[in-house]
């Protein structure tokens, strides 16, 4: 194992850029990933997530800009980078005719681990990724989720400092996706993890911090909570009401300046609203209140506000 100097953050990119001909796939990306965190790159198809991962793994050369992974420069020292990272690629590569155990031993062999040690290393990884019971079956008989878990176990064989998971739940049904989240949870804080996804709920559920990317650029960053709190109206209260008159809205605006009519009621954009004051204002004016609740901001709202697009499958 080469030195992995804990100098600076786990990953730092500066103006990282990659063109394919005319196309700018990764466009001046500045990212900092801290040691031990799960950092998510969230964005729609074609946003440049896989290209960014390939750059950070030393599989692709940047057109301009730079990055360091565990202190190693990706352009100057790609071999050192490759020795401290591991990747579970978007297109899962497991040998279909081999069992999970054999896939892991093969991978260990590629890392120069001799046979007996490889066996010992495989067992806890099979356990960790929930493959122990089917470890002797050929991988072609596994479900999509199991194959993907095997691909992650294979990435873990080399005991990486930084693990890249490129769209670990792509193509899985919603139930297997949630199952996968539990396995990824198990890996958290054991190592630094960079996870790409186009599923908002996935980044929300797993990430310590997120970079939202679109057309090669980082358009927002922060913890899931910070991203949601930063949204206009993040703390708004939604009052669902019937028979809402102009007069009633005006009276409410006298109490809370930021009242905005929405479908089926009004939204009050204020951190501190009192249920009683709203009722005391509206009821005497003949308004029927259906519900009063805090608005639940989702990362979907954040993405929509940032790009004018919905981030959907």
Binding-site ranges for ligand ADP (CB under 6 A): 20, 23, 25, 43, 45-51
Task: Kindly tell me which of 19 and 90 has the beta carbon lying closer to Mg ion.
Answer: 90
Task: Kindly tell me which of 49 and 147 has the beta carbon lying closer to ligand ADP.
Answer: 49
For residue 162, the minimal CB distance to ligand ADP (Å) is 18
Task: Kindly tell me which of 25 and 184 has the beta carbon lying closer to ligand ADP.
Answer: 25
Question: Residues in contact with Mg ion, total (CB under 5 A)?
Answer: 3
Under the binding rule (CB under 5 A), the answer on residue 50 touching Mg ion is yes
SS3 145: helix
Task: Kindly tell me which of 17 and 50 has the beta carbon lying closer to Mg ion.
Answer: 50
For residue 51, the minimal CB distance to ligand ADP (Å) is 3
- Tally Cβ neighbours within 10 Å of residue 184: 20
- Tally Cβ neighbours within 10 Å of residue 250: 11
Residues near 184 by Cβ (< 8 Å), separated by ≥ 6? 38, 165, 168, 193, 195, 206
Token readout for 311 is 């981030």
- Choosing among Mg ion, ligand ADP, none, which partner's interface includes residue 20 (Cβ < 5 to 8 Å by kind)? ligand ADP
For residue 158, the minimal CB distance to Mg ion (Å) is 22
The interface region with Mg ion, picked from 43-51, 98-106, 182-190, 256-264 by CB under 5 A, is: 43-51
273-276: list long-range contacts, CB under 8 Å, 24+ apart.
273/237
- Choosing among Mg ion, ligand ADP, none, which partner's interface includes residue 93 (Cβ < 5 to 8 Å by kind)? none
Query: Which runs of consecutive H residues, i.e. helices, occur in the chain?
Result: 49-56, 78-84, 100-110, 115-128, 144-156, 174-187, 200-206, 224-229, 246-255, 275-282, 299-307
The interface region with Mg ion, picked from 23-31, 54-62, 83-91, 153-161 by CB under 5 A, is: 83-91
């Amino acid at each position: 194992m080469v030195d992995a100097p804990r100098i600076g953050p786990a990953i730092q990119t500066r103006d990282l850029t990659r063109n394919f001909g005319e196309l700018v796939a990764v466009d001046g990306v500045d990212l900092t990933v801290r040691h031990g965190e799960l950092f998510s790159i969230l964005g729609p198809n074609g946003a440049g997530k896989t290209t960014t991962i390939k750059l950070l793994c030393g599989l692709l050369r940047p057109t301009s800009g730079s990055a360091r992974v565990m202190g190693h420069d990706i352009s100057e020292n790609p071999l050192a980078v490759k020795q401290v990272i591991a990747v579970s690629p978007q297109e899962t590569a497991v040998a279909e005719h081999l069992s999970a155990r054999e896939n892991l031993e093969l991978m260990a062999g590629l890392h120069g681990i001799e046979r007996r040690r490889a066996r010992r290393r495989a067992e806890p990884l099979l356990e960790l990724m929930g493959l122990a019971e089917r470890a002797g079956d050929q991988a072609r008989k596994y479900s999509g989720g199991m194959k993907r878990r095997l691909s992650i176990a294979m990435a873990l064989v080399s005991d990486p400092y930084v693990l890249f998971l490129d769209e670990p739940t792509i193509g899985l049904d919603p139930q297997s996706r949630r199952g996968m989240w539990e396995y990824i949870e198990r890996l958290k804080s054991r190592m630094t993890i960079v996870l790409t996804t186009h599923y908002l709920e996935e980044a929300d559920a797993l990430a310590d911090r997120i970079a939202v990317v679109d057309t090669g650029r980082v358009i927002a960053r922060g913890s899931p909570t910070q991203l949601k709190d930063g949204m206009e109206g993040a703390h708004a209260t939604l009052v669902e009401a019937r028979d809402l008159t102009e007069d009633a809205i005006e009276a409410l605006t006298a109490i809370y300046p930021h009242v905005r009519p929405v479908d089926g009621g009004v939204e009050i954009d204020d951190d501190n609203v009192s249920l009683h004051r709203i009722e005391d204002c509206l009821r005497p004016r003949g308004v029927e209140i259906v519900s009063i609740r805090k608005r639940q901001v989702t990362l979907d709202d954040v993405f929509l506000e940032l790009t004018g697009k919905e981030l959907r499958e």
